[in-house]
Amino acid sequence: MGYRGDPIVPYSLLYEPERSLIAQSVRHGPDLLEPNGDGTGLGWYSRRRTPAIFRSDSPAWGDENLRELAEEISSPMFLAHVRASTGTSVQKTNCHPFRYGKWIFVHNGYIDSFGSLRRELLMAVRPDLFGNIKGSTDSELMFHLALTFGLEEDPIGGLERMAGFVESVGAAAGVAEPLQMTVGLADGETLFAARYASGPVVNTLYMSESVDAIRMLYPEHERLQHMPGDARAILSEPLSELPGVWREIPPSTAIVVTETPHQRTFRPQPPG
- What pLDDT is attached to residue 88? 64
> Within the chain, where are the H helices?
11-14, 21-26, 64-72, 114-123, 127-130, 138-148, 155-172, 211-217, 222-225
Residue 225 resides in a domain:
yes
Are 157 and 145 in contact, with CB atoms under 8 Å apart? no
CA dist list (Å): 114 to 58, 64, 81, 136, 168: 24, 33, 21, 10, 13
Residue 121 resides in a domain:
yes
Q: Of the candidates 95, 120, 253, which has an alpha carbon nearest to the alpha carbon of residue 175?
A: 120
Residue 271 resides in a domain:
no
pLDDT tens across the length of the chain (272 residues): 999 988 989 998 888 877 777 877 776 554 555 556 578 899 999 988 899 999 988 777 778 899 999 999 999 999 998 866 566 666 788 998 999 999 999 999 999 999 999 999 999 999 999 999 999 999 999 999 999 999 999 999 999 999 999 999 999 999 999 999 999 999 999 999 999 999 999 999 999 886 655 444 444 556 655 565 578 889 998 887 776 788 999 999 999 999 889 999 999 998 87
Give the total number of structural domains in the chain: 1
- What pLDDT is attached to residue 240? 79
Residue 272 resides in a domain:
no
The DSSP secondary-structure symbol of 270 reads -
CATH code of the domain in which 64 resides: 3.60.20.10
What pairs with residue 44 in β-bridges? Answer: 52, 78
Residue 243 resides in a domain:
yes
For residue 228, give its domain range. Answer: 2-265
Residue 116 resides in a domain:
yes
Residue 207 resides in a domain:
yes
Residue 13 resides in a domain:
yes
